[in-house]
Amino acid sequence: LKQAREARPDYRMRSLSMERRGKLLEAYREADRRLLLLDYDGTLVGFRARAESAVPDARLLELLKELREQPGNTVVVISG
């Protein structure tokens, strides 16, 4: 088990450096059109033993709505 755990990819969230974050925000603001591909299971909503219990909370739904309503944004949630 220890070997399997050490061999698997590290999926923990990594933070962007301030420099990269700034470049990303600048590119976002300057773009006329944006495609946002967002992973659902394990990213937007934590992993669940039963898929039907992986339900988005009200705050997530509001954030997705705000992103969708910004001119030029296309938001796609990917699952599976």
Nearest Cα to Cα of residue 51 among 80, 75, 76, 77 = 80
32 is catalytic: no
Exposed/middle/buried for residue 75 (C-beta within 10 Å: 0-12, 13-18, 19+): middle
**Is 60:45 a contact under the CB 8 Å cutoff?**
yes
What's this model's pTM, rounded to 2 decimal places? 0.70
Looking at residue 35, what is its pLDDT?
Answer: 98
Strand partners, 35: 74
Which amino acid is residue 4, in one-letter code?
A
Q: Write the pLDDT tens digit of every residue in 8-42.
A: 555 555 788 999 999 999 999 999 999 999 998 88
The torsion region of residue 42 among left (phi > 0), alpha (psi -120 to 50) and beta comes to: left
